[in-house]
Amino acid sequence: MRNKEVKYGSEMRISIGLRRVYGFFSLRRSALIWISLFLCFSFLSCRYSRPNLDDEGMSAGTRDSLTYLYDRHYTLNTNLEVVQDSVVLACLPVKDCYNTLYKGDRVVVAEFAIHPADSVDSVWVKLAHTQEIQGWIGEREMMQAFVPTDSISQFIYLFSDTHASYFVVIFALFVGAWMLRLFRRKQLKMVYFNDIDSVYPLLLCLLMAFSATVYESMQVFVPETWEHFYFNPTLSPFKVPFILSIFLLSIWLFIIVLLAVLDDLFRQLSPAAAMFYLLGLASCCIFCYFFFILTTQIYIGYAFLVAFIWIFMKKMHTTLVVYRYRCGNCGQKLKKKGRCPGCGAINE
């Protein structure tokens, strides 16, 4: 009777183990299928819809404005701000007459002129600063010298223009702090390798990698979609192309997960250790951003993203399935009930 109980108990444990393994790999397979479907659907729904210009009641000015908005992504009465030290506007058709604008000056788009045979630029834009200060500038030069006045557009420009220097500073601070901690022979918590008891930090890095991959995919495959968003930004993931909707949702989810990270972090670590951890987490996120931006340009970033998702799922499986119990005395994670290897307490 005893042997039968042992036999049935062993068979039951093997059966449960096989079901867990099968469930884990089924989850991986399902995730890969959903990722593939998501990528296919994203790139099929990645452009803004063209405005309906067939309405007979639409005025010629409105029709022209909508046409410019779709073709050039900005239109009449779009507000812009100078970001270069100075920029010169030509007072055409008067020759040798120029107006100079300086950094911080704001203008409005007043008129367009198309000159296909022009050797300088085929598209010229008339900008108005005041009634007296107006002039023409080539579109290519205007794109480099001006940014939209919308705060979201200016944040995009600021981040795109200075993120490399921010990365160097944060990375240098992290390395310096790490060396200081090693010098003092104190253990340093790091994402994934010596992590806190939470899946949120790794999820935060994954969201950064995902957002960077989607962003660079737009830059590579549909740059006009991102340019339109740059001139007409919104924080709402609705009424935008699907790929932009996914990008905005990932940004919002990143913010929510960041709050969860902060909550877990300051409950588990001292304030000093938490600040060191946050510095390392910021470095990891920025590294993920640059890594996936660069690898997506050469089309291998998608494979790395799938690998990252698999790593995260493995971490989730370990956290939620393998170590399902906690010691009631010291809080250490346990694979099964019984004696705690940390404090020796019996957990039943």
- Over residues 23-58, the pLDDT tens digits come to 444 555 555 566 565 555 555 567 666 666 666 666
Instruction: Say whether both 124 and 79 belong to one domain.
Output: yes
- Is residue 102 classed as helix, strand or coil in its secondary structure? strand
The whole-number pLDDT of residue 247 equals: 95
The more confident residue out of 11 and 280 is: 280
pLDDT on residue 25: 44
* Mean pLDDT on 299-305: 94
Instruction: Note whether residue 280 is domain-resident.
Output: yes
The verdict on 305 and 269 lying in the same domain is yes
d(CA 337, CA 324): 9
Residue 203 has pLDDT above 80, yes or no: yes
What tokens does 11 get? 């068979």
178 token code pair: 């790490």
pLDDT of res. 258 = 96
Residue 246 included in any domain: yes
Residue predicted with more confidence, 95 or 278: 278
Closest Cα partner for 250 from 285, 298, 280, 221? 285
Classify residue 194 by its DSSP letter. Answer: B
Same domain for 227 and 83?
Answer: no
CB 186 within 8 A of CB 9: no
Judgement on whether residues 99 and 160 belong to the same structural domain of the protein: no
306/244 same-domain check: yes
What pLDDT is recorded for position 47? 64
Among 179-183, 268-272, 289-293, name the one with the lowest average pLDDT.
179-183
Q: Does position 16 have pLDDT exceeding 50, yes or no?
A: no
Give me the DSSP letters along 123-166. Answer: EEEEEESSSS-EEEEEHHHHHHHEEESSHHHHHHHHHHHHHHHH
Mean pLDDT of the chain: 79
Comparison of pLDDT for 272 and 174, the residue scoring more: 272
Least confident of 23-27, 53-57, 299-303, 324-328: 23-27
pLDDT at res. 99: 92
Is the domain of 106 the same as that of 250?
A: no
| Pairwise CA distance, residues 156 & 259, whole Å | 22
Q: Give the pLDDT confidence score for residue 294 in this predicted structure.
A: 92
* Higher-pLDDT residue of 55, 248: 248
Q: For residue 337, what are the CA distances in angstroms to 19, 344, 345?
A: 20, 12, 10
Quote the pLDDT of residue 348: 67
Residue 160: pLDDT band with limits 50, 70, 90: confident
Per-residue confidence (pLDDT) for residue 141, from 0 to 100: 94
Strand partners, 108: 79, 128
**106 and 170 co-located in one domain:** no
Interval 108-130: pLDDT, tens = 999 988 888 888 888 899 999 99
Which domain covers residue 222, as residue numbers? 151-346
What is the band of 170 on the pLDDT scale with cuts at 50, 70, 90? confident
Provide the pLDDT for residue 210. Answer: 96
| Same domain, yes or no: 216 and 260 | yes
pLDDT, residue 66, reads 64
On the question of a cis peptide bond just before residue 93, with omega within 30 degrees of 0, the verdict is: yes
Q: Check residue 64 and give its pLDDT.
A: 60
Residue 179 located in a structural domain: yes
pLDDT at 109 (0 to 100): 93
How far lies 139's CA from each of 42, 80, 84, 125, 220, in Å? Answer: 30, 13, 15, 6, 22
Shared-domain flag, residues 144 and 155: no
Is residue 244 located within the same domain as residue 293?
yes
CA distance 84 to 91: 20
Asked if residue 36 belongs to a domain, the reply is: no
Residue 228 lies in a domain: yes
Is the model more confident about 59 or about 312? 312
> Quick check: is 5 in a domain?
no
For residue 13, pLDDT beyond 50: no
Domain check: are 163 and 225 in the same one? yes
Q: Please write down the long-range contacts of 46-55, taking CB distance under 8 Å and 24 or more positions apart.
A: 46/218, 46/221, 46/222, 46/225, 46/241, 46/242, 46/243, 46/244, 47/222, 47/224, 47/225, 47/241, 48/225, 48/228, 48/240, 48/241
Mean pLDDT of 305-316: 91
Question: Within 10 Å of residue 115's Cβ, how many Cβ atoms?
Answer: 12
Tokens coding 137: 């500038």
Question: Under the phi-then-psi rule, with left for phi > 0, alpha for psi from -120 to 50, and beta for the rest, what region is 96?
Answer: left
**226 shares its domain with 342:** yes
Q: Are 162 and 154 in contact (CB under 8 A)?
A: no
Model's pTM, two decimal places? 0.77
Assign 10 a pLDDT band (cuts: 50, 70, 90).
very low
* pLDDT value, residue 316: 84
pLDDT above 90 covers what percent of the chain?
39
- Check pLDDT > 90 for residue 248: yes
Average pLDDT over residues 229-241: 91
